[in-house]
Amino acid sequence: MPPDVPALRTVNVTRYVTPLREGGSLPALVEADDDFLYVVKFRGAGQGAKALIAELVVGELARALGLRVPELVFVQLDEAFGRTEPDEEIQDLLRASEGLNLALHYLSGASTYDPLVSVVDARLASQVVWLDALTLNVDRTARNTNMLLWHRELWLIDHGAALYAHHAGAGWAAPRPRPFPQIKDHVLLPRATELAAVDAESRARLTPELLRAIVALVPDAWLTEPEVPAAEQRQAYVQFLTARLAASETFVQEADHARQALV
């Protein structure tokens, strides 16, 4: 039976509401033609399409593991928005992002997760730490948690900094020992006491078929390596994730050692 990875919906931007300047890549709150609000990550921002690929792949991996992630949708941006925006920086960004972008459903009323105020149970903390170790997500620190509390539940957002190895050029996905010392800064690491159990469960869920199905969601337009067929670029992501899963014992031990150094 094929894995249950639904296709992403595509919506069209009808109104640019406001830039979210706390994000380094100038994401924005927009309204779409389905009357919902979305936080858009633009293809024309600093890290380009690769940040959108990481956002999509890691977000859907998280969802497959049972973690809460706002719905991801493809967002079509018309060239008209670049002409009407008065801010020159935003205007340039919109013009560079015409076509297909990525967005997260806006969680109205959500608050930023604060580890000093809210406690996450050990299992959930271990699941999030495990996911971020798998995907080399450097951006879940106390300074920038990239998690929201919405209706008293924890939601994961902003995965564009994950999979950073794909910025390294040709051969980036080749299997190799890849330490992840940044895990020591993970905001949930002190609570992640069930990593071994989570490791076994998560590896069982992330089958090769599921990995291929998630990576298959990446649009051809975002696979920008010249002279490399889109199918080969997708296979590189599958190869990278497969190798990371095969080495999960190593990054689990690395996270455990980092946690024990904290407590």
Cβ pair 179, 244 in contact under 8 A: no
In a domain, 4, yes or no: no
Q: What is the per-residue pLDDT for 194?
A: 98
- Mark whether 94 and 181 lie in a shared domain: no
In a domain, 100, yes or no: yes
Averaged over successive runs of 10 residues, the pLDDT of the chain (263 residues) comes to 74 91 76 97 91 98 98 92 73 89 97 94 98 97 96 96 94 91 97 98 97 97 92 97 96 97 85
In a domain, 84, yes or no: yes
Give 222's contacts (C-beta < 8 A, 6+ positions apart). Answer: 43, 49, 50, 52, 53, 100
- Mark whether 122 and 215 lie in a shared domain: yes
Q: Kindly state the tokens that stand for 165.
A: 């190895």
- Mark whether 194 and 214 lie in a shared domain: yes
- Mark whether 237 and 146 lie in a shared domain: yes
Pick the last residue of a domain from 47, 74, 105.
105
- Mark whether 167 and 252 lie in a shared domain: yes
Cβ pair 173, 225 in contact under 8 A: no
- Mark whether 91 and 117 lie in a shared domain: no
- Mark whether 18 and 115 lie in a shared domain: no
Q: What is the per-residue pLDDT for 2?
A: 45
The residue behind tokens 């670049």 is: 82
- Mark whether 95 and 197 lie in a shared domain: no
The whole-angstrom separation of Cα 244 and Cα 177 is: 9
- Mark whether 95 and 220 lie in a shared domain: no
- Mark whether 118 and 98 lie in a shared domain: no
Q: Kindly state the tokens that stand for 35.
A: 């009357």
In a domain, 72, yes or no: yes
- Mark whether 57 and 142 lie in a shared domain: no
In a domain, 255, yes or no: yes
In a domain, 2, yes or no: no
Query: Is 77 exposed, middle or buried, given 0-12, 13-18 or 19+ CB atoms closer than 10 A?
Result: buried
Give 98's contacts (C-beta < 8 A, 6+ positions apart). Answer: 77, 78, 79, 82
Q: What is the per-residue pLDDT for 78?
A: 86
Domain span at residue 38 reads 10-105
In a domain, 157, yes or no: yes
Q: What is the per-residue pLDDT for 82?
A: 62
Q: What is the per-residue pLDDT for 88?
A: 83
- Mark whether 176 and 56 lie in a shared domain: no
In a domain, 43, yes or no: yes
Pick the last residue of a domain from 45, 75, 105.
105
Q: What is the per-residue pLDDT for 21?
A: 66
Q: How many residues does the chain have?
A: 263
Q: What secondary structure does DSSP assign to the chain, as a single string? A: -----PPPPEEEEEEEEEE-TTSTT--EEEEETTS-EEEEE-TTSTTTHHHHHHHHHHHHHHHHTT---PPEEEEEE-THHHHH---HHHHHHHHHT-EEEEEEE--TT-EE--TTT----HHHHHHHHHHHHHTT----BSS---EEEETTEEEE---TTSSGGGGS-TTTTS------GGGGGBTTGGG---HHHHHHHHHHHS-HHHHHHHHTTS-GGG---TTS-HHHHHHHHHHHHHHHHHTHHHHHHHHHHHHHHH-
Q: What are phi and psi of 148, to 5 degrees?
A: -125, 150
Pick the last residue of a domain from 84, 105, 126.
105
When divided into structural domains, the chain yields a total of 2
